[in-house]
Amino acid sequence: MREIVLDTETTGTEHLKGDRVIEIGCVELLNHIPTGKFYHAYINPEYPVNPGAFAVHGLSNEFLADKPVFVDIVTEFLDFIADARLVIHNAAFDVNFLNMEFSRTGHTPIALNDVVDTLMLARRKHPGAANSLDALCSRYGIDNSKRTKHGALLDSEILAEVYIELIGGKQTGLDLSVQSFAKSSITVQTGAAASREMRPRPMLSRLTDAEREAHQAFVQGLGSNALWLTYLGEEQSSS
């Protein structure tokens, strides 16, 4: 499954009053694993940056003046996110801004119902707790020391780590790295060799005698070709 973790920065907080997208950052996940592929763009909003927003992200009107406008990056952006599920923190904010930009360029809007909102995931998992991106980093021990200012790409990279923790972590106890295999003394075998491999200590059966007798009576009623006759390696007569 392909997912895109996405974040934006904007000129302000009022998309209905003219505020625009000025930065987009995306990172790709494949089956919840970062692939190293990303998309990043600064955008000339042709609209002044609000002083409050500037204090958050540090992107000035002067810095953005020579950047491409949204219509010049929209095709490349949509190509990157195509056929992927979007993962966004406080999704309604970013989706509203992006859809306002899409309305200006004539592109299909993003359906909010198709987006994974990590803020909603965090609120369900940690009700009553602080669930900002910084708070979640602190909760899960994720390094966000470089986040002195908000930045769309950096925040997407951090959010990708948070998202993986929110949905269950990095498969605790199932480390498939080459280094782990090198340190392991376990030999993985398949086929006939694996079938002959014996456990160091046989597992004790949890079946009671009554349960075993009931099962045998049931199997006998299935006929002489019943799969259960050999499924557990039991030898039974076909009479």
Side chain identity at 141, as an amino acid letter? G
Q: Kind of pairing, strands 116-117 and 85-88?
A: parallel
What is the CA 230 to chain-centroid distance, rounded?
42
Side chain identity at 154, as an amino acid letter? L
31: left (phi over 0), alpha (psi -120 to 50) or beta: left
Q: Which of 15, 57, 89, 150 is catalytic?
A: 150
CA distances from 161 to 25, 80, 84, 179, 219 (A): 15, 20, 18, 21, 50
Report yes or no: 102 and 108 within 8 Å, Cβ to Cβ.
Answer: yes
Establish whether 107 is a catalytic residue: no
Residue 83, SS3 per DSSP: coil
Partner residues linked to 29 by β-bridges: 3, 34
Q: How far is 89 from 77, CA to CA, in rounded Å? A: 19
| 155 CB-near residues (< 8 Å, 6+ apart) | 7, 25, 89, 133, 147
Q: How far is 110 from 98, CA to CA, in rounded Å? A: 8
Q: What angle do CA 28, 34, 38 make, to 5 degrees?
A: 35
Side chain identity at 127, as an amino acid letter? P
Active site residues: 150
